Amino acid sequence: MQKYYQQEIECASPEKIRELQNERLVKQVKHVWDNVPYYRKKMEEKGLTPDDVKSIDDLHKLPFLSKDDLREAYPYGLMGKDLKDCVRIHSTSGTTGKRVVAFYTQHDIDLWEDCCARAIVAAGGDETDVCQVCYGYGLFTGGSGLNGGSHKVGCLTLPMSSGNTDRQLQFMTDLESTILCCTPSYAAYLAESIHERGLRDKIKLKAGIFGAEAWSEEMRRDIEKSLGIKAYDIYGLTELSGPGVSFECSEQSGMHINEDHFIAEIIDPNTGEVLPDGTQGELVFTSLTKEAFPLLRYRTRDICVLTRGKCSCGRTFVKMSKPRGRSDDMLIVKGVNVFPSQIEAVLIENGYQANYQIVVDRVNNSDTLEVMVEMTQENFSDNLGKITDMEKALVSALKAMLGIYVKVRLVAPKTIQRSEGKAVRVIDKRKI
Ligand code: DLL
């Protein structure tokens, strides 16, 4: 069944992968030129024809695509196939503006599910596993993507979708699920509910495949400990199919990008200049095999680092670090760049859980940053008289990490709303 551990591709020499990418890139540029007038116009504006792209060395010549392009071309403007050849759409949640719609042929779905199957195999999955998929189904790609991957691997697939925690736990215990797929924030919520109901001994989980939102190493350790599992990161975005663009292996030190389907670049988000491996910047993807929605040089706005070299798992695919969140998730407070994931790391290091809310405001022409953090049950009952001291300790830990004053408010357990999908951690009142 290790059909979805495609050793000849996942562990191929860098030269062989490059050869495959060159060949697929030339074909894909021609496909886009012939079928996507929106992008052809962008190429023409730069005086380019498909003949100018003979290999990856020429990739930098091609124009970028951004989310604004996708919105401008909404809904059908970037399709590479006729509607009659497409069988599905998915869509982003539209949290940062108008929704983006992506199209799929049956072949696109097939390759996407292969990518998700690779992720499940890399997390130790095989046909003996019971895979509980609690990502949302529907327009969101998480449910369908992992569901398809799980079928391909041959796992018994539980298509739960998100929410209804009681039912999730009932199936998890009755059917003895071994792999859990959901957002890290929902995994933390499920873990909390398992402990509250005294179900820890009835849980047979061995691995979790968590993604769709930024999560810290500290949160990973917390979830692993509380569920007794190994937690694997998975990354992807609707515009490029969905989950499975990259995935973690047993090494847990970055996510292998499926380089037979995607070319990754890191650019300086301000100038667009391509940066060398090992430098932090914005991740840009070129899809090599997608037919219906073939995006070239798509700017993800996700900030990360690429690292090459053979991994101890045997795979040679380039690795991306955990994205710190999108460049547009980054808060600028009093001129300082702040990523919510940095705050999360400090909270967990100091013994709190990832139940927090960040509120940014502007008072008397000056930015304010407040973090509301939930106390754990033990903290709450043992330290009632010491809350001010605990708040002060967090204020200094956050100052050491961010360099600015952050107001901290400790709140009683269970006062911050739990998330069943992607958690909304930041309220920026300056934008309201
Ligand atoms: O979140 C696809 C997905 C589903 C990925 C299930 C993994 C698991 P979108 O809703 O289009 O698609 O959101 C894509 O989410 O650009 C990142 O900013 C963020 N994101 C996705 N995976 C991760 C991750 C799905 N592992 C956007 N770590 C991306 C950090 C992630 N951020």
pTM of the model: 0.93
Contact 214 CB / ligand 1 (< 6 Å): yes
Q: Give the residue, by CA position, lying nearest to ligand 1 atom 28.
A: 214
**Which atom from ligand 1 is nearest to the alpha carbon of 302?**
18
Task: Give the Cα separation of 141 and 237 in Å (integer).
Answer: 8
| Mean pLDDT over the full length of the chain | 94
User: Hey, which residues does 423 pair with through a beta bridge?
Assistant: none
Q: Could you report the per-residue pLDDT of 311-365, keeping only the tens digit for each?
A: 999 999 999 999 977 766 789 999 998 989 899 999 999 999 999 999 999 999 9
Q: Give, as one character, the DSSP assignment of residue 63.
A: P
Q: Give the residue, by CA position, lying nearest to ligand 1 atom 6.
A: 142
Task: Give the Cα separation of 190 and 164 in Å (integer).
Answer: 10
Q: Within its chain, how far is the Cα of 418 from the centroid? A: 19
**Residue 95: predicted pLDDT:** 62
CA of 419 to the centre of ligand 1 (A): 15
Q: Give the full edge-to-edge strand order of the sheet including 179-182.
A: 156-159, 130-133, 179-182, 207-211, 230-237, 242-248, 255-257, 319-320, 306-307
- Mutating to test ligand 1, I would choose from 112, 183, 235 the residue with most ligand atoms within 8 A of its C-beta, which is 235
260: closest CA among 1, 3, 2, 9?
9
Residue ranges in the chain whose pLDDT is less than 70: 1-2, 94-97, 327-328, 384
Task: Give the Cα separation of 107 and 208 in Å (integer).
Answer: 28
Contacts of 364 (CB under 8 A, 6+ apart): none
- Domains of the chain in start order, with CATH, are 1-324 (3.40.50.12780), 331-431 (3.30.300.30)
Task: Give the Cα separation of 294 and 69 in Å (integer).
Answer: 13
Can you read off the two tokens belonging to residue 72? Answer: 């401008």
**Which atom from ligand 1 is nearest to the alpha carbon of 323?**
30
Q: Give the SS3 label for residue 76.
A: coil
CA of 44 to the centre of ligand 1 (A): 32
